[in-house]
Amino acid sequence: MLHALAGVAVVALIATGGWQYLKGLLDAETPIYMGTVYRIHYIAASLLIFVSVAFLTDWLLRGERSLTLGKGQGIRGMRGLAHELPKPLGTTLAYLLGLDLRRAAPPTEEFTYYERAVSFPTWELTLGLIILTGAIKAARYIYPIPGDVLYWVSAVHVGAGVLLGLKLLDHLRYVLAPSRWPLMVAMATGWVPESYVKRFHAGWFAQLSSSQATAGAAAASPAASTPSPVVGSAGGGGS
């Protein structure tokens, strides 16, 4: 649900922000009242901030690290990324980093190596810049900000908006590729089909299978997981 709200907020921000930018660039009248455009922009910005804070709070409380490469996994992550990228890009990356693509690609875990090494860090950077510069721009209505500072803040805000649009286009592969459609359903249900995990996330499937097997073994032999009474205790019959 939060993912869907973030998507709505991002689309609304790009549309209203682009409308404002084009109006100023073309210096033309618009058929839409600009006050309405600004209100929608601010509402979408507030929604994006809320969703971002909710995501961060949830990840911090759960200690979520699956969207990062992890400590000591940089080379492994880059090798996985090189295998996932289109061959010309992957080969170039491998050459620059001295990676051996003859080795089998590491199994994909809960998130792909592209998502962990490129996509998610780019989202972090882009959203961070958008929120920070947007907050500074909004603060000018209650606190005087020097014009030069506001100029550069606005420039970074627009640049981050362009990057946000590019990231949205990159993200559309999940919508346009039929093989990825189960993820669209998963946004609403919270469940990813087992067949999809087997096909695209072999490493994650192996982890889940191992966890289930361990849990099943523990449930099947409760005596093995129950500590024996200590001699001399109330349950030991030693008195």
Q: What is the pLDDT of residues 160-180, one digit of tens each?
A: 999 999 998 888 877 788 888
Written as one letter, the residue type at 72 is G
User: 9: how many CB neighbours lie within 10 A of its CB?
Assistant: 20
Token pair of 138, please?
């909004």
pLDDT band at 239 (very low <50, low <70, confident <90, very high): very low
Q: What is the pLDDT of residues 11-30, one digit of tens each?
A: 999 999 888 888 877 777 88
- C-alpha neighbours within 13 Å on the C-beta side of residue 14: 17
Which pLDDT does position 227 carry in this prediction?
A: 55
Is the pLDDT reported for residue 221 higher than 70? no
Which pLDDT does position 233 carry in this prediction?
A: 42
Is the pLDDT reported for residue 44 higher than 90? yes
Written as one letter, the residue type at 155 is A
Per the prediction, the chain carries an average pLDDT of: 84
Whole-structure pTM value: 0.77
- Dist. CA 143–CA 135, nearest whole Å: 12
User: 219: how many CB neighbours lie within 10 A of its CB?
Assistant: 9
Which pLDDT does position 62 carry in this prediction?
A: 87
- Dist. CA 147–CA 166, nearest whole Å: 29
Is the pLDDT reported for residue 223 higher than 70? no
How buried is residue 99: exposed, middle or buried, by Cβ count under 10 Å (0-12/13-18/19+)? buried
- Dist. CA 56–CA 48, nearest whole Å: 12
User: 129: how many CB neighbours lie within 10 A of its CB?
Assistant: 17
Is the pLDDT reported for residue 110 higher than 80? yes
Is the pLDDT reported for residue 1 higher than 90? no
Question: Higher pLDDT residue, 43 or 68?
Answer: 43
Token pair of 186, please?
């998963």
Is the pLDDT reported for residue 139 higher than 80? yes
The mean pLDDT value for 67-72 works out to 83
- Dist. CA 213–CA 181, nearest whole Å: 29
- Output DSSP code: residue 107: P
Question: Higher pLDDT residue, 81 or 73?
Answer: 81
pLDDT band at 90 (very low <50, low <70, confident <90, very high): very high
